[in-house]
Amino acid sequence: MTIVRLGYVAMSMELKNASPSKTMTFTQFQKIGDRVAAIRKLERIALENLENTHRILKHNIFNDIHFYRFTSRLIPLANHEELSDWDFLQPLKGKLDEIGQFVRNHNMRVDFHPDHFVVLNSPKRDVLINSVKNLKMHYLLLKAMNIDVTHRCVLHIGGNYKETEKSLERFVVNWNHVPLPIQQMIMLENDDTSFTLEDTLYLSEKLGIPLVFDYHHHLANHRNEKWEDKWDRVVATWKDSPLPIKMHISSPKSEDKFRHHSDYVDVDMFFRFLNEIKGSIPQIDCMIEAKQKDEALFTLIKKIKEREGVEMIDGSSFYV
């Protein structure tokens, strides 16, 4: 048997007025005029984002949800070049520590998925530097929460630049310029257009990075590869991780918009995957990437409860 735990991304559709991603543009920042006052406003927005994150985490525990992805937009303008002198952590330390204690007390799994502009295989040095800078922000947030940073950030490989092999090798070269503490934070994910499961396995195995298998992405981009034949290799990339293997689950919006995420998860599609891997691993944590966030999780659980061969553990976990 295999334990399956479900999680969701960033926002709660059930909680009202609880966005963890409120922001301020640099144009808005400049319009304030008084730099000190503008920074204080940034800090108030960041604190509100953290307060709402804490609310969402409490909501998760109330609903037996043990797996959650933080938004990468907790701290507006944290990486803006014009604010390099801003110590954004200092005024937020108390709340970050409180969130970290809550996560640890409830043995939750939390992580990040930095934005698409974090590209470690870029041929442009400034893009690589800014990508590492962005990852450092995630690292510092996790450290401030006193959460083990190991394997807490999912990344795509990056741009293909119409040269798959060269783009993969550029990732290997650029990886040498990524500080070790940040390297230890990274997981890699196969994507839906540029790099298949086989491509991602190449880097994961070569560099010792766990692979987060995205089933929907694989169906959209596989070059006739069978994921089932590679499952043992995916599992092996997690052999040195303190965390259970992780995957992403979502469903196509429609046949003609296959790559787009649907509002909810197709339970039959999900179980086509689970029926292949059950018993091969003790546990798998499945991150739902659906437009309806926690509502998609609740809806999926209702449908799972109706299936034969499933033993529920709690509100978001079950045996197959």
Q: HEC string of 16-48?
A: CCCCCCCCCCHHHHHHCCCHHHHHHHHHHHHHH
Phi, psi of 111 (to 5 degrees): -160, -175
State in words which class domain 3-319 has. alpha beta
The tokens describing 182, both together, are: 């940040």
Provide the strand spans (E) within the chain. 3-9, 67-69, 109-111, 153-156, 186-189, 211-214, 245-249, 283-288, 311-312, 317-319
Q: DSSP class of residue 262?
A: P
Which residue type occupies 266?
D
| pTM score | 0.96
Dist. CA 148–CA 144, nearest whole Å: 10
Check if the beta carbon of residue 52 is closer than 8 Å to that of residue 14: no
| More reliable by pLDDT, 115 or 51 | 51
Q: Where are the domains of the chain?
A: 3-319
Mean pLDDT of 54-80: 97
User: Quick check: 297 pLDDT over 90?
Assistant: yes
Mean pLDDT of 257-270: 96
pLDDT at 33: 85
Dist. CA 35–CA 24, nearest whole Å: 14
Mean pLDDT of 120-126: 96
Dist. CA 195–CA 233, nearest whole Å: 16
Q: Residue 86: which residues within 8 A CB-CB, separation 6 or more?
A: 39, 42, 77, 78
Dist. CA 134–CA 152, nearest whole Å: 14
pLDDT at 55: 98
User: Quick check: 299 pLDDT over 90?
Assistant: yes
User: Quick check: 97 pLDDT over 90?
Assistant: yes
Helix pair angle (293-305, 267-277), 10° resolution: 70
| Per-residue model confidence as pLDDT tens digits over 16-59 | 999 999 999 999 999 998 999 999 999 999 999 999 999 999 99
